[in-house]
Structure 1
Amino acid sequence: MLLPAPEVAALPVVHSVRPRLRVLDLLRFCAAFAVVLFHYGHTRAWGTPNAFPTLSAVTMFGVYGVRMFFVISGFVILMSAWGRTPGEFASSRIARLYPAYWASVIILGALAVVGLTTDHRPTLSELIANLTMLQHGLRIRDLELVYWTLWQELVFYVLIAVFAAIGFTYRRCLAFLGGWLVLLAIAERVDADLLQAVLVPFSAPYFIAGMALYLVHRFGGSLFPWLFVGAGWAVALVQVLGENPPAVQRFGQDLGSALVVGVISLIFLVMILVALGTFDGVDWRWLTVLGALTYPLYLFHHHVGYLLIGWLHAPLGRWLTLPVVLAAALVLAYGVHRLVEVPLQDRLRSALNRSLRADDGYSDRAG
């Protein structure tokens, strides 16, 4: 349904620009750490299917940490893209994602080629495809287990870049979110592969809710954004309850389903509180460091943890090995951030922005 024509009196009042939401750095790190605990608790590197029976009853819910990532992405990506051109947005995203990612493909690829940490030795074509981050779309195997989420993010970024070419406004965002939801349902109904590939149905309800919550944060809590938050929550629950998740298997159908609903609802509740400004007072600068560790920790933890757990659990025992491996993963993440991201991100972003202006001199000469 088309929205009514803009009227000055009907537009929400724009709030003044708020300081950096450092609580999002904390939430991103918590989501990543939950994923790490889930993988480390269930990896076959321990030599047993369940090395921590009691602990895994909690850490198994870390599998839902990626959902938190997607809600945060919806919020943050709309916030970062607002007021930027498509080129500027693309430059910022490429510079943010690729340096640490290339490092992970090179290092983890080398480990895999020599037969460490994986049963599959990647071919040259698989390594090259993974360097592009487009391997999922090319139907080529991910070098690392966690790379599948990056494809979801890339498709979302493309959608936002196209939206940026049109120009962001409050009402256009509402129309965008409504169209995305309707097309999701249509794609499922008609089994349209192309639509499903573009609309990323797994992560879409979280992206939609995150974008709607950013509208709440920026413009205030009018009804339409809240409707999209509620719709994203409902679609997310429908999806996750149909997956037969680990919690259902462990606790039984009724209790397991209730726990899953509680975890997903908690993710939405926390982000709602962020949007409402409840955590605006959380401005501890050290949280930015945690935020900086999140992406390299996510990229490297699985392979590195598998390798170290396999080496250490026999001599050290599982309860000493787990904190040692967690500490090693954090140290590695910090190293990648300082040695790869810090020196390369700004340079890459500057080079990309200069490339966008490459035709300026030609236009002047032609004139």
Structure 2
Amino acid sequence: MIKRRLNELDLLRFLAAIAVVFFHYAFRGYAKGDMSTMPYPLLAEPAKYGYLGVELFFMISGFVILMTASSNNLRAFFISRVVRLCPAFWVCCTITFAITLAIGQPRYSADFYQYIINMAFLSELMGVPQIDGVYWSLFVEIQFYLMISILLAFKKIEKVETYLVFWLLISATAELLAFEKLRSILITDYAAYFIAGATFYIIWAKGITKTRVFLLAGALALANYTAIVWAELLESKYATEYNPLIVCSVIGLFFITFILISTNKTGAIATYNWTALGALTYPLYLLHQMIGFMIFNIAYPAVNSHILLWGTIVLMLGASYAINKLIEIPMARSIKKFLSLSFIRVWG
């Protein structure tokens, strides 16, 4: 049976990105006092929960990456991930670097070595500061890609459900007993979201079973546990209070949404084409934070904070659209062609 295109995922991506934008612009930048000079108290309270948009990204990724890997072709999977990650990242990293050099001082600085290491996706491994703080989540994503790549390399992707069960059980144990090495290797802070997303894909593709219900229940429990622990850390970092009920309710809403998607119960939302919004998401996520803060620091308080916040959001959406249409899509096409031909020449 041919499955329909899941338009809802594009909408979810956009909502997740916008949540993160508001978290940074209306709360994070000013809350710690080291990023932005512009407060935005009107939205600060709800915006402080916007960091959960990243957790939603990871759940979406679990669903989409398993869908991509279901062809059981490591070469195709590798090409798809390079084409997805690299073009927008290289462009946005370059733009952020250039703008940091132009207007970042004295609060922000960057050098050419740092830029090259970032462009090579090596900043995390080499302990080099990221050009933009949001890049941390890319390294979490890449760890997940590597896990899936190992299954593909050994032709074990059809056994992924079994590995998801082991990943969940070991992650929960490592979290509870604070096995730091395992926590790092298995990205246990966010494993629940990848596991849940992957399980929802399996349900969408193959239906509900007791094992899949167990996986979702376990993933929800682990997600709530890690989210509450993380919220407590954020409380001390930002000198604010997070309501654990709100945090867990938001995560519960993510799960409910994916239950509706995986069982084709999203109604009219599924009939709309959200592709244009989805296409904005990755450039918007990569581009918005540091450049937005630099704009705030230069223009505030001379410019009204409402005009500054909403104007910068519109600017970032416009820039993301231009990057996607004029650079990301053509570059992705060229990279895909180059990699495909290279693999053919080397391996036939």
Provide the TM-score with structure 2 as the length reference: 0.90
> Which residue does 1:47 correspond to in 2?
37
User: In the alignment, is the contact (CA less than 8 A) between 2:69 and 2:157 conserved in 1?
Assistant: no
Shift of 1:54: 3.7
Q: Over residues 238-294 of structure 1, what are the superposed CA-to-partner deviations in whole Å (9 max), with x where a residue is unaligned?
A: 1111221658988867xx121111111111211121111112653455410000000
- Judged with a 3 Å threshold, the aligned counterparts in structure 2 of structure 1 residues 262 and 360 are, in CA distance, closer, same or farther, namely closer
Quote the residue 1:191 is aligned against.
179
The counterpart of 1:61, out of the listed 42, 49, 60, is: 49
1:38 aligns with one of 7, 15, 23: 23
Matched residue, 1:323: 310
The question of whether the paired residues in 1 share the 8 Å contact of 2:103 and 2:294 is answered with no
Match of 1:231 among 202, 208, 218: 218
1:153 aligns with 2:141: yes
State the partner residue of 2:256.
269
Whole-angstrom CA distance in 2 between matches of 1:152 and 1:118: 30
User: C-alpha distance in 1, partners of 2:183/2:234?
Assistant: 25
Shift of 1:298: 0.2
- Secondary structure (helix, strand or coil) at the match of 1:221 reads coil
Is the 2:72–2:152 Cα contact (8 Å) retained in structure 1?
Answer: yes
Structure-2 change in CA distance of 1:191 and 1:118 (3 Å): farther
Q: Structure 2 CA distance, aligned partners of 1:308 and 1:133?
A: 26
Give the Cα–Cα distance (whole angstroms) in 2 for the partners of residues 157 and 280 of structure 1. 31
Separation in 2 of the partners of 1:92 and 1:245? Answer: 35
Equivalent position amino acid for 2:86 in 1: Y
With 242-251 and 89-98 compared, the bigger mean Cα shift is at 242-251
CA 1:118 to 1:258, structure 2 compared with 1: closer, same or farther past 3 Å?
Answer: farther
**Paired positions, count:** 340
Task: Report the equivalent of 1:217.
Answer: 204
Indicate yes or no: 2:124 matched with 1:136.
Answer: yes
| Residue 117 to residue 303, structure 1, CA distance change in 2 (3 Å) | farther
Secondary structure of 1:19's aligned partner: coil
Amino acid at match of 2:17: A
How many Å separate the matches in 1 of 2:267 and 2:235? 33
Q: Which runs of 5+ in 2 are unaligned?
A: none
Write the deviation string for residues 301-353 of structure 1: whole angstroms up to 9, x where unpaired: 01221122233343331122221111001001001101211111111112112
The one-letter code sitting in structure 2 at the alignment partner of 1:146 is V
* Secondary structure at the counterpart of residue 136 of structure 1: helix
Q: Does 1:97 align with 2:82?
A: no
Closer, same or farther in 2 for the Cα pair 1:205/1:118, shift >3 Å?
Answer: farther
Distance 1:259 1:283, change over 3 A: closer
Please report the TM-score for the alignment, with normalisation by the length of structure 1.
Answer: 0.86
Instruction: Tell me how far 1:87 sits from its aligned partner.
Output: 1.2
Unmatched tracts of structure 1, length 5 or more: 1-15, 362-367
Counterparts of 1:331 and 1:282 in 2: how far apart (Å)?
24
Does the alignment pair 1:205 with 2:192? yes
2:155 pairs with one of 144, 149, 167: 167
Q: Does 1:20 align with 2:5?
A: yes
SS of residue matched to 1:62: coil
Tell me if structure 2 keeps the 8 A contact 1:304–1:329: no
Match of 1:4 in 2: none
